[in-house]
Amino acid sequence: MDENNEGFRKLNFINDFKKVIVVENIQFVATSLTKVLKEAGFFVFHSSTGKSALYLTQNYAPDVVILSEKLPDMTGFHLIRELKSINECIKVIYISSKDDFKYKQESVLAGSDYYLLKPFERSTIINAVNEVLHGGLK
């Protein structure tokens, strides 16, 4: 019953290490997103192309990928499909400026877990990441 006994102790916090890849080729947007996410405690990678995002995904098993619709080497929807084929458990947040129902529907069909309309507040992106990590679909 001694609190300082030598037995095994439950480790609670092992799974709070969460990795996020930000796929964005506009530097100032990427820098700002990365900063906000780091401050919120996430381990953040930045990738400016779809190809490097796929490389990072294969090697570092991210929990969440945040990607922009316009990438220099592939479309956002194409990247989502590729990401999900590597690991279907990866959560994808798709950032777009199109407030169009059909377009949103297409992103969901491609496999995105959250559709985020530009422009957005700092807190919105953190909430979005937390929501997808807890299984929400928006």
Residues binding another protein (CB under 8 A): 1, 3, 6-11, 13-19, 38, 41-44, 59-61
Residue number with CB closer to another protein (110 or 132)? 132
Residue number with CB closer to another protein (57 or 107)? 57
Smallest Cα–Cα separation from 76: which of 129, 25, 19?
25
Report whether 50 contacts 68 (CB < 8 A). Answer: no
**Minimum distance of another protein from residue 3's CB (angstroms):** 7
**Minimum distance of another protein from residue 14's CB (angstroms):** 4
**Minimum distance of another protein from residue 48's CB (angstroms):** 15
Q: Which long-range contacts (CB under 8 A, 24 or more apart) does 78-81 make?
A: 78/50, 79/23, 79/50, 79/53, 79/54, 80/107, 80/110, 80/111, 80/112, 81/110, 81/111
Residue number with CB closer to another protein (92 or 110)? 92
